Structure 1
């Protein structure tokens, strides 16, 4: 995974309070600059595959953290309630980075953005026609015309929603005869600035499109054509290797879990059979989005993170209340409190220091910046009730078969239901549902192995709740 960095000079180049990273060939001369922007809840680390691939081809690439994201301490004004204010802040930050980066090259520059940033780089390129080319991944582009932005490449994952694919065809159709668009066909001449092209990256969704080799090669070829270049070089192939690394770490947890101390001589848990358990599983999934539709959830300066924490907290309270109402065995203090605390600390340490640091190094920012650290214990107050109630409900002698995956599937469906009830405010939660699915699959395995070793649901509940609070604090945008 380190091969794409060979032969490159990678340096930090903060633009005021905006963290930014510069990638360029170690022995290269003047070249066009490509400013690369991340999407909602992303960071510059997430966009590194494009930076290294383009720098290997001789470009000068710059990634950065938008306000409210990653390590940028400036809150994202406007949030989702004021699109004009938020877009203005994001475009201003992009403009500052372009202004700082452009003199580092030969004077020519291009823009590349994913998701939220696809719209931002497109808007900026329309307002500042000096950009020679724009690459938009999984974007909605307001204000685009047949002439602007110049030389637009649109890349969408083949597994992404039809609404994004339709938007991609609309944008490229402005240059296609009759508006009929075929994949991988260039319409117009890059020399005139009116070229457009659609690429559907096979087998990937909204996040995977960033790591797809097809996306990286298409962006490189497009920018080469726009700038009259032909250099190639290594393509950042970390995508599959990230999966191998994380899969290996998860599998390593299986033998390590056997070292956890036994907390209970007999396994503990609610142990409800399906004839009673389905009520505990289903009602919170239905009621939580309905209640939160009318209850304010803007308690934290964390865009959508506050809602997700509130969703977890209410979900957990409702689950616990139903367990009590149905007469499930009452939760009790662990038989060996010290062993439970040790097991929880070991699980949390493995999740955050093992899996988390690997994610932070190769995928996205997972270590909260200093100005975000205080959010972790606050968010834990929301995530802990859900994991604690859910672990108790799904574990124990006589527990319904497949109870654990059933509650996780219903939780995700509950989030989708919340989005359906309030799309303007919660739409971006749809983006994290696939990520949440992976999170719950991975930490579900850790929970299963921990429960078998300890006999108690509490260590996994505490560790998983902390890991989710940590991830939300590190990634969701900070707002005023």
Structure 2
């Protein structure tokens, strides 16, 4: 059975990569030099003529890879496409800065960066002088505002938009796209449309794109804030809107990558099972059984006490938004849980010599193999040198936390209610922390889906390792390093003193 699963996983991985790489066929994808050093990529269809430039901007905690469906689709349609990493994001070594609460602070700096990318792309020989801005989430407000300034845009595609800068006639040729399952932003899309025509409905086009007065709102069915980036409806709408704005007639398929990416990720995770089965089997430690009451205390006491203990303090050490707090939350949470488990005799036989190389194997698979897949097809996962200190700092909290989680859940051997309780209690603890200090910690809400996905993917793999080797702490050790890495490359770097 392990060999069959390994073979099927490798076949699905190979097929998925073949399909995903096929979206790049016929395109030239190269770096483009931008003033200030912003990492940017230029996408050109081989043999195409002069065309408008499309500058693509990602959302908060995103990167260029996340916007590939639009970049590849529009490049295939013949447009000159430039996609980039905002400061503080992805491969960009320059941290975000300025006041995030004012238009003249961080927003202005990100607008200036977007303009620099636009000027670099407009200088390409294939650019015909016309310009489009396309942005998602946080970037939607950036591109709407930048479209009104030099270099001005001839069309704008705002995805999951919220912007107070939209008026009845500005920006020119505005297409707003939202997912059906992001209800507030879908309403915002309709509001922007009805500034021009109060009777308009989703899907209606008002004004004349050929004259620069067009406006449309599209609601992509059955997708949410990230899924909208992979929606065929959204991709077709963006391409068709630009064709209408510039009198072009593009054809061909759009880059429908979501299903293949999901298949690739699931197959890569599935490959971990036969690899785990190849590890030396072990019976593992047999600590004294924990009563249900003690399990409840170990799961719930840190969840309640840690946010209460940290609430009075303002913590600023790492140059990353809320990472300082998260290190302490994870570390204190883990140490408190470990202390309770040690007091109840749960450390018995947990740390034999082989735990270190098993833990290293878990970390290597999570970071190099699964992380490599994520970096190529989903979002930036390979850090620049400036993020290594951040990853090391996060490991000081993540490793104790996941060591405690591994021992408490017995490396996947514990009953399901015990595993679910441990993970839900931690998520609730982060929620309580945000509630106690919303203004300072609301960015933690951004990572909650990352934590849930982490538990689903990496927690499953850790369980396979724990059940095979009998070493609950090994999975915790390896996963602690993976979690530190994942958070360290996801959080935007921020330097408030640089503005």
TM-score, structure 2 length as denominator?
0.89
Q: Which residue of 2 aligns with 1:187?
A: 206
Separation in structure 2 between the aligned mates of residue 283 and residue 442 of structure 1, nearest angstrom: 26
Q: Indicate conservation of the 8 Å contact 1:269/1:393, yes or no.
A: no
**1:177 partner SS:** coil
Q: Does 1:39 align with 2:63?
A: no
Separation in structure 1 between the aligned mates of residue 214 and residue 437 of structure 2, nearest angstrom: 38
After superposition, where does 1:70-81 map in structure 2 within 5 Å? 70-78=90-98, 80=100
Q: Indicate conservation of the 8 Å contact 2:284/2:349, yes or no.
A: no
Q: Indicate conservation of the 8 Å contact 1:271/1:328, yes or no.
A: no
* Structure 2 counterpart of 1:286, from 278, 300, 304: 304
Q: Which residue of 1 aligns with 2:266?
A: 247
User: Please, which moves more after superposition, 269-278 or 383-392?
Assistant: 269-278
Structure 1 residue runs of 4+, over 6 Å off? none
Separation in structure 2 between the aligned mates of residue 31 and residue 346 of structure 1, nearest angstrom: 49
Q: Does 1:103 align with 2:119?
A: no
**1:295 partner SS:** coil
Q: Indicate conservation of the 8 Å contact 2:280/2:468, yes or no.
A: yes
* Structure 2 counterpart of 1:59, from 65, 70, 79: 79
Q: Which residue of 2 aligns with 1:155?
A: 177
**1:106 partner SS:** strand
- Change in Cα spacing, 1:332 to 1:323, as seen in structure 2 (3 Å) is closer
User: Shift in Å at residue 85 of structure 1?
Assistant: 1.7
Q: Which residue of 2 aligns with 1:11?
A: 30
Separation in structure 1 between the aligned mates of residue 114 and residue 104 of structure 2, nearest angstrom: 15
- Report the aligned-residue RMSD: 2.2
User: Please, which moves more after superposition, 309-318 or 14-23?
Assistant: 309-318
**1:126 partner SS:** coil
Separation in structure 2 between the aligned mates of residue 335 and residue 129 of structure 1, nearest angstrom: 61
Q: Indicate conservation of the 8 Å contact 2:412/2:466, yes or no.
A: no
Separation in structure 1 between the aligned mates of residue 462 and residue 394 of structure 2, nearest angstrom: 20
Deviations 1:353-375 (A, max 9, x none): 11100000111110111221222
- Change in Cα spacing, 1:271 to 1:136, as seen in structure 2 (3 Å) is farther
After superposition, where does 1:274-313 map in structure 2 within 5 Å? 274-313=292-331
User: Please, which moves more after superposition, 386-395 or 280-289?
Assistant: 280-289
Separation in structure 2 between the aligned mates of residue 206 and residue 288 of structure 1, nearest angstrom: 30
**2:219 partner SS:** strand
Q: Which residue of 2 aligns with 1:478?
A: 493
Q: Indicate conservation of the 8 Å contact 2:154/2:173, yes or no.
A: yes
Q: Indicate conservation of the 8 Å contact 2:331/2:398, yes or no.
A: yes
Separation in structure 2 between the aligned mates of residue 101 and residue 46 of structure 1, nearest angstrom: 20
Q: Which residue of 1 aligns with 2:223?
A: 204
TM-score, structure 1 length as denominator?
0.93
Q: How many residues align?
A: 473
Q: Indicate conservation of the 8 Å contact 1:37/1:114, yes or no.
A: yes
After superposition, where does 1:363-374 map in structure 2 within 5 Å? 363-374=378-389
User: Please, which moves more after superposition, 105-114 or 389-398?
Assistant: 389-398
Q: Does 1:214 align with 2:229?
A: no
Q: Which residue of 2 aligns with 1:445?
A: 460
Q: Indicate conservation of the 8 Å contact 1:271/1:398, yes or no.
A: no
